């Protein structure tokens, strides 16, 4: 069975708009497609992780420890979602090798170690499972030429090459809680594994379904 990896932002699943209805429909969608694909879902930390990281930074806690606070929150978020899905793993694996040992049709996890975001975890799982697709489900309609949350004239990119993204953003990890659409270490992993990757708005479940089914999306295709 073909595998798909989906990295979904905590900012998508725990936003104000993500009411019970949205979460139930999100779960139904994944369960439906798990008939055809083995799904690995990596859940991000969202604003709750950023809150802890901000507080920790004010308290002069060092960067690695701030990353660990973020990781803990991603794992709490992953627990919430796995309880909702019901057919996925009960315990949240702490690394991708442990995730690969699980036999559930849907495997849910959060972050692993300091130094990257959950997008990297997704890219690593996609590499290890030779997944046919890595879907990054974020809170905007794909990758833009500048931050669309800051600039109203930001233009969505229909496609962009991985090399151009690396030229623009680099491959380093910036700092705990850093808010980039795909983090540098994840870009490097996508390039190394040549994983077909798309970025879509996870708040739009029709887009998520289109990405799963390989249909045209209103998002960004990362060209390898
Ligand atoms: P996220 O992956 O959720 O960051 O991890 P994000 O992309 O900024 O947030 P959303 O979910 O898309 O809104 C939160 C933080 O946890 C740490 C990092 O500090 C990251 O910024 N983290 C996460 C790690 O250090 N390692 C991991 O494997 C995952």
In tens, the pLDDT along 82-93 reads 999 999 999 999
Query: What tokens were used for 205?
Result: 């479940």
Smallest CA separation from ligand 1 atom 1, residue: 44
> From the CB of 114, is ligand 1 less than 6 Å away?
yes
pLDDT higher than threshold 80 for residue 163:
yes
Establish whether residue 70 lines the binding site of ligand 1, counting it when its CB lies within 6 angstroms of any ligand atom. yes
Q: Which residues pair with 4 in a beta bridge?
A: 39, 133
pLDDT at 65 over 80: yes
pLDDT for 140 equals 93
Q: Are 219 and 206 in contact (CB under 8 A)?
A: no
Q: How confident is the prediction for the chain on average, in pLDDT? A: 96
Task: Confirm or reject: Cβ of 96 under 6 Å from ligand 1.
Answer: no
pLDDT given at position 181? 83
pLDDT tens digit string along 112-157? 999 999 999 999 999 999 999 999 999 999 999 988 888 999 999 9
Q: What is the mean pLDDT of residues 28-34?
A: 98
Contact 68, 52 (CB under 8 A): no
Handedness of CA 209, 19, 125, 63 (dihedral sign): positive
Q: Is 204 helix (H, G, I), strand (E, B) or coil?
A: coil
Q: Does the pLDDT of residue 15 top 90, yes or no? A: no
Does domain 3-223 bear CATH number 3.40.1280.10? no
pLDDT of amino acid 217: 98
Q: How far is the CA of 185 from the centre of ligand 1 (A)?
A: 12
Its pTM surpasses 0.95? yes
Please choose from 109, 111, 135, 175 the residue to mutate so as to test ligand 1's pocket, defined by most ligand atoms within 8 A of CB.
111
Our answer on whether the CB atom of 45 is closer than 6 Å to any ligand 1 atom is: yes
Instruction: For the chain, give every domain's residue range.
Output: 3-223
Residue 170 — φ and ψ, nearest 5°? Answer: 75, -175
């Amino acid at each position: 069975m073909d595998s798909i990896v989906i990295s979904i932002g905590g900012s998508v699943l725990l936003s104000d708009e993500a009411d019970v209805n949205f979460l139930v429909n999100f779960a139904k969608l994944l369960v439906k497609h798990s008939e055809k694909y083995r799904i690995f879902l990596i859940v991000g930390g969202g604003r709750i992780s950023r809150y802890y990281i901000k507080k920790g930074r004010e308290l002069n806690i060092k960067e690695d420890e701030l990353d660990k606070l973020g990781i803990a929150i991603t794992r709490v978020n992953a627990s919430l979602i796995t309880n909702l899905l019901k057919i996925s793993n009960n315990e949240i694996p702490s690394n991708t090798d442990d995730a690969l040992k699980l036999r559930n049709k849907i495997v849910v996890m959060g972050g692993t170690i300091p130094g990257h975001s959950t997008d990297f975890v997704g890219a690593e799982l996609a590499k290890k499972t030779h997944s046919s697709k890595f879907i990054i489900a974020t809170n905007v309609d794909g990758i833009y030429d500048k931050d669309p949350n800051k600039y109203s004239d930001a233009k969505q990119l229909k496609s962009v090459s991985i090399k151009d993204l690396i030229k623009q953003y680099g491959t380093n990890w910036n700092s705990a809680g850093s808010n980039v659409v795909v983090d540098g270490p994840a870009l490097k992993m996508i390039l190394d594994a040549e994983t077909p990757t798309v970025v879509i708005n996870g708040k739009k479940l029709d887009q998520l379904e289109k990405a799963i089914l390989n249909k045209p999306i209103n998002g960004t295709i990362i060209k390898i």
